[in-house]
Amino acid sequence: MSATPRRVENLHTDKGKVPVYATGIVEQPWDDYSADDHATWATLYARQREILPGRASQAFLQAQDAMGMTPDRIPKFAELNQVLREATGWTLMGVEGLLPELDFFDHLANRRFPVTWWIRRPDQVDYIEEPDLFHDLFGHVPLLMNPVFGDYMEAYGRGGVKAHAIGPDALQNLTRLYWYTVEFGLIRQKDGLRIYGSGIVSSKGESLHSLESAAPNRIGFDLERIMRTRYRIDTYQKTYFVIDSFEQLMEATGPDFTPIYARLAEQDSIPAGTVLDTDRVYQRGSGEGWASDGDV
């Protein structure tokens, strides 16, 4: 049997040998990956590692090297877990796809990171709508090796459990924070802007676009501003937010968000491409190629 990607809604009808436990957790069916699956990993890995030096943050590149992911074949979660547990106490768990929000938060709060076990098809190397193994493993997992970022992810999980109890608006505010940091964040190094967001580092097109295109805005991190800002799920981002350091991120997100959620409930959301007078602007985007609607 080859390990072919399946749409989330089909997952429970065509399982083959992969047993699914209560919350979608699976044993990584490593022996079932096909030669094509391993080749897809190798192609994407080599392609990203070629363009990321000088574009991805030093912290990301260092962490990825320290993990010892295999470039030529899909890594075994069990092997990565030995390194990761030792470094920061995080554990990877195989999953079929996106989890219910509360399950996801609970895993993060307990330093368990869900990784999609299946990898995209060869014709999907440039773009896939839903997270697959390459996005999760190559994009998200390396920074779990970083002590400060690893703590941020755990704190986010606890914050998620809390926001879930408060209600859908709080959850939306928190999701935007995740989107503009964990998925699409930029960081300012002494030698210039760099990528740390996993949605960017796992995409060749967006790696180039986020740093080098004149189209998007690049704006200094501002917690409440980000929590009000809508985003794109079907195109490159119109705006990227830039942190100075992971410490800054930890510090800014340390306070209790409960009063912030209450305050934001009174305010309008901000369209994905808008620049405000109060923004610290690294680059005002030209807006070239932007879709006029479709912000979520």
Catalytic residue positions? 135, 140, 183, 202
User: Within 10 A of 160 (CB to CB), how many other CB atoms are there?
Assistant: 23
In the shown chain, the binding pattern of residues 122 to 161 toward ligand PHE, with x for contact by CB under 6 A and - for none, equals: ------------------------------x--xx-xx--
Tokens for 133? Answer: 């193994």
Residue least distant from ligand PHE (Cβ):
159
Residue 99 partner contact from Fe ion, ligand PHE, none using kind-dependent CB cut-offs of 5 to 8 Å: none
Segment near Fe ion (CB under 5 A), from 9-17, 75-83, 113-121, 130-138? Answer: 130-138
Smallest gap from residue 187 Cβ to ligand PHE (A) = 16
Count of positions (residues) in the chain: 296
Tokens for 219? Answer: 């704006």
Binding status of residue 188 toward ligand PHE by CB under 6 A: no
Using alpha carbons, select from 210, 216, 201, 219 the residue that is nearest to residue 276: 219
| CB 118 within 8 Å of CB 5 | yes
Give, as one character, the DSSP assignment of residue 110.
T
> Binder to ligand PHE among 111, 135, 162, 230 (CB under 6 A)?
162
Smallest gap from residue 2 Cβ to ligand PHE (A) = 39
User: Within 10 A of 225 (CB to CB), how many other CB atoms are there?
Assistant: 18
Residue 209 partner contact from Fe ion, ligand PHE, none using kind-dependent CB cut-offs of 5 to 8 Å: none
SS3 186: strand
Smallest gap from residue 133 Cβ to Fe ion (A) = 12
Residue 38 partner contact from ligand PHE, Fe ion, none using kind-dependent CB cut-offs of 5 to 8 Å: none
Binding status of residue 90 toward ligand PHE by CB under 6 A: no
SS3 164: helix
Smallest gap from residue 32 Cβ to Fe ion (A) = 23
Residue pointed to by tokens 């490593």: 30
- Give the total of residues touching ligand PHE (CB under 6 A): 12
112-116 and 91-95 as β-strands: parallel, antiparallel, unpaired?
parallel
State how far the Cα of 37 lies from the Cα of 39, in Å rounded to an integer: 5
| CB 95 within 8 Å of CB 19 | no
Residue 268 partner contact from Fe ion, ligand PHE, none using kind-dependent CB cut-offs of 5 to 8 Å: none
State how far the Cα of 147 lies from the Cα of 143, in Å rounded to an integer: 8
Which residues bind to ligand PHE, rule: CB under 6 A?
A: 152, 155-156, 158-159, 162, 177, 253-257
Which residues bind to Fe ion, rule: CB under 5 A?
A: 131
